[in-house]
Structure 1
Amino acid sequence: MTRVKLCGMTDRSALDAAVDAGADAVGVICAVDVDTPREVDRERAAALLAAVPPFVTGVLVTMAVDSGPVRDLVGTLDPDAVQVHGLDSEGLAALDECSADVIAVADPTADDLTARAEAADAVVIDSLDEQGGGGTGETHDWARTAALVEELDTPVVLAGGLTPATVGEAVATVDPYAVDVASGVESAPGEKDRAAMNRFVASATGAA
């Protein structure tokens, strides 16, 4: 069954609602170089990640151009996994001894996609903006991502423009290890919608 990550938690009520909806993982965004209403400071990120219950994965989502700041942030916030935007395959490989699982992020047309995937524990295929950030709300070529699922040994996570209305078709088309959503389950930018999160998880897991 396809797993579900609900991303961009900014407060405890949203996190609890995501867990209640049946999310396998929740994402907390901290230390990114893009303007997003979903970013929280280190203090709040630490509190939210500490509140993630057993059997749910707490994912730190961050951006970096080298591995040092990522290692420091992981050491401070102690997430179960870290999803890194901006690192190339060498930077990802340098996180090999990191205490958290490492999730790479790449556009489906990236030249070094295979190398990034091989250097990580999982790879998110997303529609990225010019700065390399996700959360654009834009879909990409699902057929290309379906081919990557077949080609790569690394688990593939599908992201980019997913909503409760589209995730079922996306899962049926791509058969990813997991799906990842942020803006697609919000009532306003940065404000999670409990009903939308419930519908998203139900659609994603029922599609398989």
Structure 2
Amino acid sequence: MTRVKICGLTGEDDLQTAVDAGADAVGIICDVPVDTPREVPLERARELVAAAPPFVTTVLVTMPSGPERAIELVDAVEPDAIQLHGSFRSGDLAYLRAKIDSLLLLAVDADDAAAAETYDDVVDGLIVDTPGEDGGGGTGRTHDWDRTRTAAADLESPVILAGGLTPENVEAAVQTVEPFAVDVASGVEADGGIKDPEAVRSFVDRAKSARRPAEP
């Protein structure tokens, strides 16, 4: 069964909506140099992580200036996982992974998904996303899922599919890519940074029930 992460939560109501819908992970965006209605201050991020129930993975989504800043954020927020956006050297990622207790996830550009192999042995998971010009996600734009599936086939790390996913297209995305998990933010929002409960429930249900058609 495909796992689901609901990202860009800004309040307890949206956190509860994601949990009630059956999300496996929740994403809280903090300390990013891009303009997004989904970013929350450090203290708010810590509160939301603490409010998540057991067995729901909390993910701090951030674009830190470097590994030392990432370590500071993990120490302050205490998430189950940290998801990095931006450019990082493999050595910096290996250093970071050795210094934190949280799982390390890295977002990679869907247009260069093959480059994910460079980081395959230094992270715990790879998010294949459609980034904007500023390097952030949440663009609402899909990418070539067939190409992503081909690139993911050679990876050992779990692949999390992101980028333009909605309740209407997530089933087709899962059937095409067969990812470990799917990740959605803007695709289940009623307004910028505010989740639509019905859309969240529909997204989770369709993602988890999706099956790749049997080969003839």
Q: TM-score range by the shorter chain?
A: over 0.9
Deviates more, 1:75-84 or 1:129-138: 129-138
Aligned to 1:102: 104
Aligned to 1:76: 76
Task: Please tell me the residue identity of whatever aligns with 2:13.
Answer: S
Structure-2 separation of matches of 1:13 and 1:91 = 36
Deviates more, 1:140-149 or 1:34-43: 140-149
Residues 38-53 of structure 1 mapped to structure 2, 5 A cutoff: 38-53=38-53
Aligned to 1:156: 159
Change (3 A) 1:112 1:66: farther
Verify: 1:122 aligned to 2:125, yes or no: yes
1:129, distance to aligned residue in structure 2 (A): 1.1
Structure-2 separation of matches of 1:200 and 1:186 = 11
The superposition leaves residues 63-107 of structure 1 with CA deviations (integer Å, 9 ceiling, x where unpaired) of 024101000100010000000001422322221221100000001
Residue 76 of structure 2 aligns to a residue in which SS? helix
Structure-1 separation of matches of 2:186 and 2:141 = 10
The superposition leaves residues 129-172 of structure 1 with CA deviations (integer Å, 9 ceiling, x where unpaired) of 12211110000110011112211011000000000000000000
Structure-2 separation of matches of 1:175 and 1:197 = 20
TM-score by length of 1: 0.97
Residue 160 of structure 2 aligns to a residue in which SS? strand
Structure-2 separation of matches of 1:205 and 1:112 = 28
Verify: 1:91 aligned to 2:81, yes or no: no
8 Å CA contact 1:92–1:104 kept in 2: the answer is: no
- Selected match of 2:192 from 177, 189, 193: 189
Task: Please tell me the residue identity of whatever aligns with 2:136.
Answer: G
8 Å CA contact 1:30–1:61 kept in 2: the answer is: yes
Verify: 1:62 aligned to 2:62, yes or no: yes
Residue 59 of structure 2 aligns to a residue in which SS? strand
- Selected match of 1:179 from 182, 201, 216: 182
Task: Please tell me the residue identity of whatever aligns with 2:172.
Answer: E
Aligned to 1:30: 30
Task: Please tell me the residue identity of whatever aligns with 1:103.
Answer: L
Structure-2 separation of matches of 1:170 and 1:136 = 17
8 Å CA contact 1:103–1:124 kept in 2: the answer is: yes
Task: Please tell me the residue identity of whatever aligns with 2:6.
Answer: L
Q: How many residues align?
A: 208
The alignment yields a C-alpha RMSD, in angstroms, of 1.1
Structure 1: gaps spanning 5 or more residues: none
Aligned to 2:214: none
Task: Please tell me the residue identity of whatever aligns with 1:40.
Answer: V
Structure-2 separation of matches of 1:112 and 1:68 = 24
Residue 111 of structure 2 aligns to a residue in which SS? coil
